[in-house]
Amino acid sequence: MSARPRSTRRTIQPPVVEEYLTLAEVLAETRLSRSAFYRMRAKGEAPLLVPLPNGHLRCSRRDLDAWWTSQRSHAA
């Protein structure tokens, strides 16, 4: 009696794609003016921005969410 072959099929998970927001999207979500955002950034209090080779700035969704969490803890 032969054993039934085990299934070698695996579920393939799609790759996790990091979402990056434009500066305008970050400003709209945080409801900060551009100048207020840059003042906070100069003090190290703003979400981390990643410069692209073309000079544009992006903020990862993960970094912005972490920043929101830190803002809630400061407010409590």
Residue 4 placed within a domain: no
Site of tokens 């794609």: 17
**More confidently predicted of 61 and 7:** 61
Residue 3 placed within a domain: no
- What pLDDT, in 10s, does the model give residues 27-56? 999 999 999 999 999 999 999 999 999 999
Instruction: Give the whole-angstrom CA distance, residue 45 versus residue 41.
Output: 6
Per the structure, the complete domain to which residue 45 belongs is given by: 20-75
Kindly tell me if the per-residue pLDDT of 5 is higher than 80: no
pLDDT of residue 74: 73
Residue 8 placed within a domain: no
* Number of compact structural domains in the chain: 1
Sign of CA dihedral 40, 44, 50, 55: positive
Residue 14 placed within a domain: no
Instruction: Give the whole-angstrom CA distance, residue 17 versus residue 1.
Output: 47
